[in-house]
């Protein structure tokens, strides 16, 4: 069976400045990789609309959205853009990309619920975004928006797993008091953003797996699935959402993990086995060396199929 790959061309428009690792070429590299002829039987393309304000307000307060819209209007009017933190810049047409990225995450949930599996090419990424703060290249928290959308559509219990090399601090902060969502994150520690210690448990729904860089890849592969199994103990989710960050692959400039695309394949198969017939949906997070990003996405989507 094919996997729904959800996209919106406006995700290419966000530009954070010369030399910034979160660059439009990431989006292009993923599109090019998934359009290879050998993947034609694995991919079914679905174009997503931009997210509505109502959907965004399930996660982010109106005042924060107003602030971003105001900055976007000033930037589009020739104001030159605004830095929201040291590495998160809202430039001309960035807000268009942010809304498109969130819309991709929402549509990926819908496709996953209909077809069993989906992958969303979400750019800019989202797992560092807090309710009222952009950070770490992220403006809106795509995977939490996806979780709340899934719940609105009838999936009461949501499991989010995050294999990005950086801790999904925004995701954790947004769900750690909600027992209807469980969050598993394996990430390099200590590393940006400095959160994600093993003793950060929320209401018993947070399962952090902090690991140093440079370990043998088999350790990361084993420990991630052990964390997932811990989250699934005596608890059965209705949908699985994956914050799929490919900066965890060996050679990425922003991480020091040693994983290979084959590990992504193994994880994806293992997660599908654990979920049975329940939906599995991936959304793109990090990944900053284009060839590795492309290889990781292809491995994930092929394994979903």
Q: What is the CATH number of the domain that holds 44?
A: 3.40.800.20
Q: For residue range 106-118, list pLDDT tens digits in order.
A: 999 999 999 999 9
Catalytic residue among 13, 60, 127, 128: 128
Q: What is the pLDDT of residues 40-76, one digit of tens each?
A: 999 999 999 999 999 999 999 999 999 999 999 987 6
The total domain count for the chain is: 1
Q: Which one, of 4, 269, 31, lies nearest residue 110 by Cα?
A: 4
Query: Rounded to an integer, what distance in angstroms lies between the CA atom of residue 216 and that of residue 211?
Result: 11
Q: What is the pLDDT of residues 238-296, one digit of tens each?
A: 999 999 999 999 999 999 999 999 999 999 999 999 999 999 999 999 999 999 999 99
Active site residue 187: no
**Is 0.85 surpassed by the pTM of this model?**
yes
| Per-residue tokens: 72 | 């976007």
Range of the domain at 140: 3-304
């Amino acid at each position: 069976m094919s996997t729904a790959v959800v996209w919106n061309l406006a995700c290419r428009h966000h530009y954070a400045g010369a030399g910034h690792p979160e660059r439009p070429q990431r989006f292009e590299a993923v599109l090019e990789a998934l359009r290879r002829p050998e993947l034609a039987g694995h991919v079914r393309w679905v174009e997503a609309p931009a997210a509505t304000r109502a959907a965004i307000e399930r996660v982010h307060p109106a005042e924060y959205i107003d602030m971003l819209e105001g900055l976007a209007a000033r930037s589009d009017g020739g104001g030159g853009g605004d830095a929201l933190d040291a590495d998160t810049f809202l430039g001309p047409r960035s807000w268009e990309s942010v809304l498109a990225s969130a819309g991709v995450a929402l549509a990926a949930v819908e496709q996953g619920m209909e077809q069993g599996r989906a992958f969303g090419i979400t750019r800019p990424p989202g797992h560092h975004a807090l309710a009222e703060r952009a950070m770490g290249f992220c403006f809106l928290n795509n995977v939490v928006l996806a979780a709340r959308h899934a719940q609105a559509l009838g999936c009461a219990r949501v499991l989010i797993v995050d294999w990005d090399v950086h801790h999904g601090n925004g995701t954790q902060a947004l769900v750690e008091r909600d027992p209807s969502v469980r969050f598993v994150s394996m990430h390099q520690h200590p590393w940006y953003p400095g959160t994600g210690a093993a003793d950060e448990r929320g209401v018993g729904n947070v399962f952090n797996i902090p690991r140093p860089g440079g370990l043998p890849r088999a350790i990361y592969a084993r420990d991630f699935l052990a964390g997932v199994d811990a989250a699934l103990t005596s608890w059965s989710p209705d949908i699985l959402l994956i914050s799929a960050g490919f900066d965890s692959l060996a050679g990425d400039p922003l991480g020091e993990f040693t994983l290979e695309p084959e590990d992504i394949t193994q994880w994806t198969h293992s997660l599908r086995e654990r979920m049975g017939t329940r939906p599995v949906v991936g959304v793109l997070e990090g990944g900053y060396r284009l060839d590795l990003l492309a290889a990781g996405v292809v491995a994930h989507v092929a394994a979903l199929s």
